[in-house]
Amino acid sequence: MAQEEGGSLPEVRARVRAAHGIPDLAQNLHFYDRWAPDYEQDVATLQYHAPRLAVDCLTQALPGPPHSALILDVACGTGLVAAELRAPGFLQLHGVDGSPGMLEQARAPSLYQRLSLCTLGQEPLPSPEGTFNAVLIVGALSDSQVPCNAIPELRVTKPGGLVCLTTRTNSSNLQYKEALEATLDRMEQAGTWEGLVAWPVDRWELATSELEVVSGISAKDGFISGIVYLYRKRKATQVEEVRSSPQPPAGP
């Protein structure tokens, strides 16, 4: 494929469909390397709202002044989430991504204190357990990007800290969404996380095909939906309380 360039809405839709359709992680990361220079222009064309929505959700729940919170942006891409975090005063931002091209773009605005190359699902996050006040994964929770079995890596969150996750809820991503929610439910049942918010959003981004929108709405004007999840990592005493509490009897 030739070098990706910013283009018209039909061209952007075709490029995003291509990104969503690459089943192999290595090929997907290579695609993002080439897409990186025009990524922000393209997602702006699609009216992509997830970074702002995730940061709004996190900001309302995170205690203490923003400037004192250490934040990890997983699959940070070019830094869209960091730009949103800066507005309310978050200054201590670390980012990780599996695409060197995306990280190169993220370095230019100097939004992050630290950026690291890390392919979540193939290697652990480069931080000790209990490091961050909050961790976000925005826009990368889908097939061929961040696998559901990598979610426990978010133990790098401090006890009492927050985890904010987003994913699409259009038809092509529903199977992944179900697997993600099963993973989140298991972590909640184990007592390690506490669910705080599951916020469905209708206008997530412009659909890239007619198949993604509900019947009767043209993809020319229609948006796909998405969801923002917010969890709190339980403290050790809370985990023990959950694990020692009586469990409901199993069904027949």
Distance CA 39, CA 65 (A): 31
Instruction: Kindly tell me if the per-residue pLDDT of 53 is higher than 90.
Output: yes
Q: Which DSSP symbol is given to 215? A: T
Q: Please return the burial class of 165, using the count of CB atoms within 10 Å of its CB with bins 0-12, 13-18 and 19+.
A: buried
pLDDT in tens, 81-139: 999 999 999 999 999 999 999 999 999 989 999 999 999 989 999 999 999 999 999 99
Query: Is it true that domain 9-233 has CATH number 3.40.50.150?
Result: yes
* 181 CB-near residues (< 8 Å, 6+ apart): none
pTM over 0.85: yes
Residue type, 241: E
- For 7, the token pair is 């283009």
Distance CA 155, CA 163 (A): 10
Return the higher-pLDDT residue of 210 and 140: 140
Instruction: Please state the length of the chain.
Output: 252
Residue pair 165/146 in contact by the 8 Å Cβ criterion: no
- Per-domain boundaries in the chain: 9-233
